[in-house]
Every structure is written in structure tokens, then in C-alpha cells.
Amino acid sequence: MHPRTMQTLGGILSGTGLFLILAFAGFLLIQWSTGALTPGGLGIGVFLILVIFSPLIGLGVYLWRRGAVEAQEAEAAEKQRRLLGMIQARGQVSLPEIALELRATRDQVRAWIYDLVHMGLFSGYVNWSEGVLYSAEAAALRDAGQCPRCGGALELAGKGVIRCPYCGTEIFLSGAGAQP
């Protein structure tokens, strides 16, 4: 189910449940005030209202919250897809440009890049100090064993990440277990 549909359905269920509770509570109060309802009948009526209509409100709130969470996840996935498309299409993209286009912070962009690396979708390198992402062939970088920026020897920095200890450039390999 689409996240926005979940939120809409959740709102409808919660609103309906609240309306029905208020309507039946009003009916019970009218009956109580006219003397047509005993205290025991009022208690049973309130109990039945809560047992029957409270789950509607609970389910509605759950669907609304779940829809909001899924909408945020879908938005983040869409931004990751756009980020990958930008890098592949342009070959070289600055971090401020990415952050501006995707309406994100530098830390969010950094997290998305690492997510794409761990999913095996991004291969290239990033110079964090200059704030530039480069799309590159992982095989050429592995074969060279040297930093594409300064020529220094590369070190394995983690799963699918190779770092130059001299200039701080990080190279991301799509074959996550590959070493330089």
C-alpha cells in the first residue's frame, strides 16, 4: 500500500472511530439524562463503545504513523537514486551542488553515498576536503593501486572503501570485497 494511502486510511479510520464514540456516548448521555438508562446499562454501554470503537482509532493511528515512516523512507530512497544518477551522468559533482539539488545536508549526502557503496551501486571516489565526487571505474583504480588525486599508496579503509592516507581521498568500489 502506498504510504500516503496508509496515512489517509489511518486518518479516516481514526476520525470515524472518534465520531462513532462521540455519537454513541452522546446517545448514552441523552438516555441517562431522561432516566431511560440505569447505571448498570450506562456502564455496559460505555464498555461496549470502548471495546468496539477503540480498535478503529488504534488501527487508524497505527496506519497513519506507519504511512509517515514509509513516506520518509521512500523519499530517502528517491534521493539516493537521484544522487546516483547525478554522479553517473556528470562524472564529477560537487557536494554543495548535490546538497542544494537534493535539499539535504552534507552529512545526509555522505550517509547516502556510504549506503550506495554498501549496496554495491556506487563505484568511484570522493575527496571530502574539496567536496567533489568522481565517478570512476573500480577496476582501473584497483589495478593502479594509487590515489587518482595525489598518486599516493592506497589503504583499505573498510568494506568497499579505499582511502589515501596522504590527501584523504576515499575510493568506493562496487565489488565490496575488492582490495587495491
- Model confidence over 57-90: pLDDT tens digits? 999 999 999 999 999 999 999 999 999 888 877 7
Instruction: Give me the phi and psi of 159, to 5 degrees please.
Output: -65, 110
CA 56 to chain centre: 27
| pLDDT less than 50: residues of the chain | 138-139, 176-180
Task: Give the list of residues 6+ apart from residue 157 with CB closer than 8 angstroms, or none.
Answer: 163, 170
Integer Cα distance of 180 and 171 in angstroms: 10
